[in-house]
Amino acid sequence: MAIMAARALLVVAMAAAVLGTALGATYTVGAPSGSWDLRTNYDQWVSNINFRAGDQIVFKYSPAAHDVLEVNKADYDSCSSSSPIATFNSGDDTIPLTAAGTRYFICGFNGHCTGGMKVAVKVEATTGSNPAPSPMTPRPRTPTAMAPNAMPPTAGGRPVPPSSSASQSAGVASLVGLSLGAIVVGLMAF
């Protein structure tokens, strides 16, 4: 009986780790005291977060007043919006951080980047010794709820707007369903 309980606990812990790795953490840019605006200090905001591959960031703003451009480092440094990697303008943009490296975002509205609306997000690789968050191993962060319109990556690892928000919901549901199915099968084996 004790062996079965230990096995069940092990299966639940493994499933929690799988779910945490698959879903990562979600961060609203500028939260909790700001947003994508001209008032928030983004250098200070990113200094309090340890981003990892598998996390995602959410930009919330008024599309009439701002947008989000992902740019290369040179365009970030010079606040150039002439050749963005990706453009977002829904006012509620979710961007997956799929790989290690630094991602650069600016507001493309005239004068906003030079006014401080730019953020460089350094993403660390997820390793066995540095796991993604799960209920069993929380990270010192303040994740927010997952946004319903998360954007899936393309083959190049850069986000592309989905045809509908249902595509992301289906993807998350599939991951959760698969993980829960593994838990049930593992428990039934006892």
Burial of residue 131 (number of CB atoms within 10 Å: 0-12, 13-18, 19+)? middle
Per-residue pLDDT reduced to its tens digit, 1-54: 555 544 554 444 444 444 444 569 999 999 998 899 999 999 999 999 999 999
Structure confidence at residue 113 as a pLDDT band (50, 70, 90): very high
In a domain, 72, yes or no: yes
| Tally of structural domains, the chain | 1
Mean pLDDT in residue range 155-181:
41
**Size (the chain), residues:** 190
Between residues 25 and 167, which one has the greater pLDDT?
25
Q: pTM for the full model?
A: 0.60
On whether residue 187 sits in a domain, the answer given is no
Q: Is 101 within a domain?
A: yes
Which position has the higher pLDDT, 105 or 144?
Answer: 105
Q: Residue 132 maps to which CATH number?
A: 2.60.40.420
With both helix axes pointing from N to C terminus, report the angle between 2-23 and 166-188 in degrees, rounded to the nearest 10.
Answer: 170
Ramachandran assignment for 56, one of left (phi > 0), alpha (psi -120 to 50 degrees), beta (any other)? beta
For residue 125, give the 3-state DSSP assignment.
coil
Q: Of 121 and 22, which is predicted with more confidence? A: 121
CA-nearest of 170, 160, 144 to 58 is 144
* 104: in domain: yes
Question: What is the structure's pLDDT at 98?
Answer: 96
Please report the pLDDT score of residue 3 as a whole number. 59
CB 136 within 8 A of CB 147: no
Give a yes or no: residue 132 inside a domain.
Answer: yes
Q: Does the residue 4 lie in any domain?
A: no
Instruction: Determine the average pLDDT of the residues in 126-155.
Output: 43
Please report which residue ranges of 24-141 form alpha helices under DSSP H: 42-47, 73-78
Owning domain of residue 73: 26-175
- Would you say residue 44 lies in a domain? yes
If one compares 148 and 69, the residue with the highest pLDDT of the two is 69
pLDDT digits (tens, 9 = 90+) for 72-109: 999 999 999 999 999 999 999 999 999 999 999 999 99
pLDDT (0 to 100) of residue 79: 98
Does 111 reside within a domain?
yes
Query: What whole-number percentage of the chain has pLDDT above 90?
Result: 52
